[in-house]
Structure 1
Amino acid sequence: MAMGSEILRKEVLPFVAMIVEACMLNAKATISKAALNSGLSSLIFVVYYNSLGSLLLLPGFIIQRHRRNALALTLSMLRRCFILGVLGTCTVILGTLGLNYSSPTLFAGISNLMPGFTFVLAMIFRMEKFEVKRRTWQAKSVGTIVSIIGASVMTLYQGPTILGSSSSSISDLPQHSLLSQDSSRWVVGGVMIVASYVVASGWYILKTAILKDYPEQITIVFFSTFFSSIQCAIVTLFLERKLDAWKLQPGIGMIAIVASAVLEPVCVNNIAAFCLVMKGPLYVAMFKPLGVVIAAIMNLIFLAEALHLGSIVGSIIISVGFYVVMWGMLREATDIILCETTAPATANQTSPLLQK
């Protein structure tokens, strides 16, 4: 019974939380796209919603600081949160510049490599053990590669329409062709996008390490968001010289800023922090390709967009890879729980002999 409740807490709860996070990120992306299409600068948009997110997180931070068992704020923790903010700022800026130099198709395709980047960095920083002969390690490695392949198929291959009207599909909207891009700009953009997702993987690794040493989630999320908003504001002031670009007009821009502040800094970052502590960075990164599947389903249901053969094939491949990785992680977690539950029993059996 105890083992069942432990698996429920450590396996089912993080899984549901990450599904909710993926849905929130898709909702935020949809709202953000509408705001950016209205003419709002992408970097200014990030500055505004991160700043508002810091204000929304402030009450939770104050409440946590007034708890009797609250950990002391140390210079080391603040320094690491500052570095966490730097990584977050670099991710946004590199991703935005890379998208401007290349195309949305390339951006979406490279984003699905994030589980691979995270897995490699997790092994380098010893958050994942390098055990080639162990079945669980093989499952996580193969599953990660399969998920990346599935997400790439889903992103780069459209195919014939299976469900819905092809006229309503985003895929039919004018897009930048990879072949039509200037080769030098395309290469520069690709390098920037790859760098942004490598940095984002490092963000996961560092945040996991900080939360293990300083397990006060709201405090870490608040300071990382606060530092990131300041850093991004400084960089944006150099890149956006026009003062008119900073002016907000009533409409979708303000709505998107408020919605994004609630969805990302307040909700998504806290959910990610919870799952990073519970399951580790690879687990959280694995939901990046799965988010592509969730986005396709949400677009089909709520926006009546077309479902193409590439989406179905890619979704199946992603699901297989995701299942293999989850199996490997569940097997590892079950082994750990079994060791923890059998250890007290072994101690109780040997304790009478020790007392003689």
Structure 2
Amino acid sequence: MAMSYWYKNVLPFSAMVAVECSNVGIYIVFKAATLKGLSYYVFVFYSFAIANLVLLPLVFIFPRTTGLPTFKLSLLYRIFLLGLIGFVDQLCGYIGIEYSSSTLASTVSNLTPAFTFILAVIFRMEVLAMRSSITQTKIMGTIVSISGALIVVFYKGPAIISVASQAPPLTHHLPLGSSQTKWVIGGLLLATDYLLTSMWYIVQAQVMKIYPAEFTLVFLYFLFATIISAPVCLIAEGNLSAFRLRPNIALAAIVDSGTGFSLGVVVHTWGLHLKGPVYVSIFKPLSITIAAAMSFIFLGDALYLWSIIGAIILSVGFYAVIWAKANEDLNIGEDNGVGCLKSPSITQKTPLLQSHKAQEV
């Protein structure tokens, strides 16, 4: 009994918190590495490549060969599209972090459920019953989330807590005017990042219906993303010597990202199977607090008044969508005589509450 409780409750909780800390840690180390001159093009390319190497043995350790359809060329096209979306997604995200902060990245990431809900409605993966209180809550939660994100992006406000930073100026910024302008551009890039993440979820849902082999598809996704990123990053960076890795913080950031990115996908996949998407998604706003604390401690980033207010508003809207989705699944389960939340294996209608940059899978 004690072992069962530990496996079903303590272990998932600890794993989800660890993944959120890992994701924020990747942002923090990346931000610190850019202060030392790391190019985000170099970072993105090597991160995909290392994630690919980490996941390669998992394809053989956890093979799935029964009940799978024939691997067709049309499926490769869809996986290639996933790789393209994922590459642009990552590039926008890390450029956005360099222009703004890791705290803003963690805050804006909570827009993913709202964006996914809108796209799911457009692609008819989500059913709207306008007279239903659950549907009304999802719509209002989406609007509130986007409103909170707009506040965070466009208004910094006065610094509540700040520490004088001795960090050198960033080396890869465009010649922009003010820090406020950089903050807004960074916020818009991060919003684009999580919009692309939502698009990735929509395409992923279609691919999983065709070929339900998670580890194989994830590996192929990283493979295509690496192939796409190689020529683009080489051309965009221009300086080939920047791709020469040395034992410094840049190398640590790349290894941390590639390893954490791939293993985070594995943990989230396990969590979705064991506890369901609502449980996994409920930990996302935790990244705001973690990012704010770690950025303040390690990078000296200031905490701004309107950023905190916007983050609170965004989180309220986020949890409204979570609550509505949970009650919707509960009602479906009761209608089917289940009387409880349906497991991910039963409900695959929409990836609304699935994790990212599982970020990124």
Q: TM-score range by the shorter chain?
A: 0.7 to 0.9
Query: Structure 2 CA distance, aligned partners of 1:243 and 1:82?
Result: 26
C-alpha distance in structure 2 between counterparts of 1:158 and 1:177, whole Å: 23
Inter-partner Cα distance in structure 1 for 2:308 and 2:246: 41
Residues 187, 28 of structure 1: CA spacing in aligned structure 2 closer, same or farther, 3 A cutoff? closer
Alignment partner of 2:325 out of 329, 332, 354: 329
- Closer, same or farther: CA 73–83 of 1 in aligned 2, 3 Å: farther
Q: Is residue 45 from structure 1 mapped to residue 4 from structure 2 by the alignment?
A: no
Counterpart among 163, 166, 172 of residue 167 in structure 1:
163
Question: 2:32 is aligned with what amino acid?
Answer: A
Query: TM (normalized to structure 2)?
Result: 0.71
Trace 1:1-356 onto structure 2 (pairs within 5 A).
19-65=17-63, 69=66, 71=68, 74-75=71-72, 76-95=74-93, 103-104=99-100, 113-154=111-152, 156-159=155-158, 161=160, 166-167=162-163, 180=178, 195-264=192-261, 266-272=262-268, 291-299=287-295, 307-341=303-337
2:114/2:318 contact within 8 Å kept: no
Deviations 1:27-60 (A, max 9, x none): 1101111222222211111111211111111111
Displacement of 1:243: 2.0
Alpha-carbon deviation of 1:330? 1.4
Deviates more, 1:232-241 or 1:187-196: 187-196
| One-letter code aligned to 1:207 | Q
Q: Residues of 2 paired with 1:96 and 1:307: CA distance?
A: 20
Letter in 2 for 1:51: A
Q: CA deviation at 1:13?
A: 9.4
Give the greater-gyration-radius structure (CA): 1
The TM-score normalised by the length of structure 1 is 0.72
Q: Distance in 2 between matches of 1:123 and 1:14?
A: 31
1:159 deviates by 3.7
CA shift in 2, pair 1:30/1:302, >3 Å: closer
Q: Matches of 2:284 and 2:325 in 1, distance apart? A: 17
Task: Read off the aligned partner of 1:26 and give its amino acid letter.
Answer: V
- Whole-angstrom CA distance in 1 between matches of 2:296 and 2:179: 30
Paired letter, 1:23: C
Per-residue deviation at 1:129?
1.3
**Distance in 1, Cα, partners of 2:291 & 2:270:** 23
How many residues are paired up?
325
The answer as to whether partners of 1:289 and 1:318 remain within 8 angstroms in 2 is: no
1:42 is matched by which residue type in structure 2? Y
One-letter identity of the residue aligned with 2:54: L
Residues 166-225 of structure 1: per-residue CA shift (max 9 Å, x gap): 32589xx99999874899x99998876665443332112111232243332211111101
Unaligned runs of 5+ in 1: 344-356
* Paired AA for residue 27 in structure 1: G
Asked if 2 retains the 8 angstrom alpha-carbon contact of 1:147 and 1:319, the reply is yes
1: CA distance, partners of 2:55 / 2:147: 37
Query: What percentage of aligned pairs have identical amino acids?
Result: 38
Shift of 1:61: 0.5
The answer to whether the 8 Å contact 1:88/1:228 transfers is yes
Higher mean Cα deviation, 37-46 or 268-277? 268-277
Q: Which amino acid aligns with 1:243?
A: L
| Structure 2 gaps, min length 5 | 340-361
- Whether the aligned pair in 2 keeps the contact of 1:147 and 1:289 (CA below 8 Å) is no
Letter in 1 for 2:210: D
Bigger fraction of residues in helix = 1
Measured in 2, the distance between the counterparts of 1:145 and 1:17 equals 31
For 1:316 and 1:251, locate their aligned partners in 2 and report how far apart those are by CA, in whole Å: 37
* Per-residue Cα deviation, 1:48-95 (whole angstroms, up to 9, x for no partner): 121111111111112233x56373561243332211101112223455
The 3 A distance-change label for structure 1 pair 12 and 313 is farther
